[in-house]
Amino acid sequence: MKSRGHFVAILIVALQFSVARAQIVMVNQAGYLPDQQKFVYSTDRADSFFVIDAASGAIRYKGAFTRASSNDAATGSATYAGDFTSLESDGRYRVATSLSDSSYPFTISDNVFQDVYRESLKSFYFQRCGMALTPQHAGVYARGTCHTNDATFHLSTGKTGSMKATGGWHDAGDYGKYVVNAGVTVGTLLMAYELFPSKFKCDDLNIPESGNGVPDILDEVRYELDWLFEMQDPLDGGVYFKVTPANFSGFIMPSQDTSTRYVYGKSTTATGDFAAAMAMAARIYSRFDTAFASRCLHAALAAWGYLSANSKIVPAGGFHNPEGTRTGEYGDPNDSDERLWAAAELYISTGSDNFNTYFADNCGGRDAFASTMAWRNVRDLGLLDYLTCDRTNSDSTLKGTLLRSFDTYCESLVRIASNDGLNVSILPSQYVWGSNGEVLNNAVVLIVGYTLTGKKEYYNTALEQLNYVLGCNMKDMSYITGVGTASPMHIHHRPSASDGIAEPVPGLLAGGPDRGRYDAVLRSMYTDSTPPAKCYVDNQGSYASNEIAINWNAPLVFVSGYFNEAP
């Protein structure tokens, strides 16, 4: 009888569980800061919700749901929001609704973002190419070195022979290294440090350089910069586009990938991003290592020289994969934003009028801010750095104009978020490949907006974007490996897939819903009528929704690091 009773009990629990999941109750699975805004979202029509102590079940807070949207285009559902901001006591909780649905557990405390911040930054160490990851620093994810062979000049370089192409981070789930994506990633991470040095000063991440007196974020970025130097042609300052094999490798460990790597021809987008990132590094590292800083500045100036000598985009029409090459393209037919960003950073680092004038003539003035940065659009990095710099000869009238444009842009993001059922700041049409990166880049923009204007709605909307990737989404999951109760287990990431360890490498952000359904797995599961915010699957084959990439992890580091430390 005992075992039968046991069976019935399990059945009841199982039934309750499946009923509970029929409607979702979405919370930030990392948790909430005690003194900040707190929202729970649900598709459940319940009129009220209870925040209960996760261990005892005791009710700690009771609130009413308000309808956030009815059948909105992104979620395809009616959604309800519950505000429990006034619950400020530290603890471990769950939300239950008056219809008996319940959420994953979550924490309220000052350090809820500590793990996501530290793990997301540490994930860059796990992406390192050209060195062994030791058990001391990588634990179970220790692995051998990789890609130490020279890269062969591809026909598109006009050269023969080979060159050194070691170090740096693997771009994503693949083992390629692409200068354009490296540039925006380095720019985002350095901007985090430059704007908020006290929030990004940790030196105890357990990377090989930890404890050396230089913040780990700068040590980690320097690993990428050291590879970037190799990508510059010393003869004319131009920068090669990428180092990859002709095709993506199978799902093997990096050390097993011995295919021929090619270095591809120079481009002005790569050279502009390189110039900007190196110019930023020149001023940011000058406090720690003057010789390194001046090397960065020389490289940036040489890259600018190449841009000046090539006033039209190189290659014509933007980079395209040559015949026979199938790795990432990062094709971008417009290099004006890369040039603008380079000019802004070179101006800030040198104070030279030439760069200031170039920036002023090309920044767009009243209409400067119209979009958020992404790998193909780095305008905002230049605009925001100009706006926040303290060069005394910068144009204060222009700064005033830019600030108004920026404020209007931030307001437009807040408006999009408040019309969205889950307070997400992207439009339904923007759930494209890497949408989680777009959401977090909007949060970066809003954080800078809050810093410059003090408008609390910018801060709150930025926080809601972090909530979205950490669980307040239609998949009811944290999109970050190893963070939260439900997170990706089958991420499109070659080391995670081939290291024999069930848990993926932690701290990696999945690309997120892709309404374009650019892979066969998404196409087999969803259709044109699937709500955009649902076009995601935790399946290794879904590279368009479940891959990871350095340029998506960088804004995650920025945003989680910002909220992790009190201002």
Which residues are within 8 A (CB) of 390 and not within 5 positions of it... i.e. 6 or more apart? none
Nearer to ligand 9MR (CB atom), residue 215 or residue 328: 328
Report strand pairing: 91-97 vs 106-108. antiparallel
Q: Where would I find the beta strands (DSSP E) of 336-491? A: none
Q: d(Cα 86, Cα 266) in Å, to the nearest integer?
A: 55
**Considering only residues 33, 51, 74, 129, which one is a binding residue for Zn ion as defined by CB under 5 A?**
129
Tokens encoding 444: 């970066």
Stretches 155-163, 359-367, 475-483, 541-549: which one binds ligand 9MR (CB under 6 A)? Answer: 541-549
Choose the one of ligand 9MR, Zn ion, none that binds residue 238, judging by a C-beta under 5 to 8 angstroms depending on kind: none
345 catalytic, yes or no?
no
Q: Select from 35-43, 127-135, 276-284, 383-391 the region that touches Zn ion (CB under 5 A).
A: 127-135
Concatenated DSSP letters of 253-290: -GGG--PPPEEPPB-HHHHHHHHHHHHHHHHHGGGT-H
Q: DSSP secondary structure string, 487-507? A: --SS-B-HHHHHSS-SSPPTT
Kindly write out the interface string for residues 496-525 of this chain, putting x where it contacts ligand 9MR by CB under 6 A and - elsewhere.
---------------x--------------
**Binding of Zn ion at residue 173 (CB under 5 A)?**
no
Peptide bond into 428 cis (omega under 30): no
- Token pair recorded at residue 380: 């905002």
- Is 90 a residue of the active site? no
The catalytic residue among 337, 492, 493, 519 is: 492
Cα separation of 405 and 91, whole Å?
Answer: 42
Candidate residues 328, 488, 504, 507; the one interacting with ligand 9MR per rule CB under 6 A? 328
Q: How far is CA 538 from each of CA 44, 74, 162, 344, 550, rounded to the nearest angstrom? A: 24, 19, 39, 40, 19
Under the criterion CB under 6 A, does residue 129 sit at the interface with ligand 9MR? no
Interface with Zn ion, residue 147, by CB under 5 A: yes
What is the C-alpha to C-alpha distance for residues 523 and 537, in angstroms, rounded to an integer? 11
Which of ligand 9MR, Zn ion, none lies near 328, with the C-beta cut-off 5 to 8 A by kind? ligand 9MR
Q: Which is nearer to ligand 9MR, 168 or 434 (CB)?
A: 434
> Least distance (Å) from ligand 9MR to the CB of residue 178?
7
**Nearer Cβ to ligand 9MR (153/330):** 330
Return the one option of Zn ion, ligand 9MR, none that residue 254 interacts with (CB less than 5 to 8 A, by type).
Zn ion
- Active-site residue 154, yes or no? no
Q: Which of 76, 434, 449, 555 binds ligand 9MR (CB under 6 A)?
A: 434
Buried/exposed code over 298-323 (b: 16+ C-beta within 10 A; e: otherwise) = ebbbbbbebbeebeebbbeebbebee
- Can you read off the two tokens belonging to residue 33? 């800061």
Please tell me the count of residues contacting ligand 9MR according to CB under 6 A: 13
- Residue 41: helix, strand or coil by DSSP? strand
Q: Contact between 116 and Zn ion (CB under 5 A)? A: no
Residue 158's Cβ-count burial label (10 Å; 0-12, 13-18, 19+) is exposed
- When asked if residue 254 is in the footprint of Zn ion (CB under 5 A), the reply is yes
Q: Amino acid identity of 252?
A: I
- Identify what 193 binds: ligand 9MR, Zn ion, none; CB under 5 to 8 Å per kind: none
Q: Could you identify the residue written with the tokens 């710099």?
A: 389
Q: Identify the H or E element spanning 184.
A: helix 179-195
Q: How far is the CB of 541 from ligand 9MR (least distance, A)?
A: 13
Q: How many residues bind Zn ion (CB under 5 A)?
A: 4
Q: Has 499 been annotated as catalytic? A: no
Q: Tell me which residue has tokens 């949060």.
A: 443
CB 81 within 8 A of CB 41: yes
Annotate each residue in 130-169 with x if it binds ligand 9MR (CB under 6 A) or - if it does not, as one string: ----------------------------------------
Pairing of strands 79-83, 39-42: antiparallel
Nearest-approach distance from CB 274 to ligand 9MR, in angstroms: 18
Which residue's Cβ lies closest to ligand 9MR? 328
Per DSSP, which regions of 251-406 are E strands? 262-263
Q: Does 433 bind ligand 9MR (CB under 6 A)?
A: yes
Q: Which is nearer to Zn ion, 259 or 352 (CB)?
A: 259
| Environment class of 324 (CB within 10 Å of its CB; exposed 0-12, middle 13-18, buried 19+) | exposed
Question: Which of ligand 9MR, Zn ion, none sits in contact with 146, Cβ below 5 to 8 A by type?
Answer: Zn ion
Q: Assess 172 for contact with ligand 9MR (CB under 6 A).
A: yes
The first and second tokens of residue 186, run together, are 């380095």
CA distance 561 to 552: 14
From 189-197, 229-237, 327-335, 381-389, span contacting ligand 9MR (CB under 6 A)? 327-335
Binding site for ligand 9MR (CB under 6 A): 171-172, 174, 176, 328-330, 433-434, 511, 543, 547, 549
Binding site for Zn ion (CB under 5 A): 129, 146-147, 254
Q: Which residues are catalytic?
A: 174, 492, 538, 547
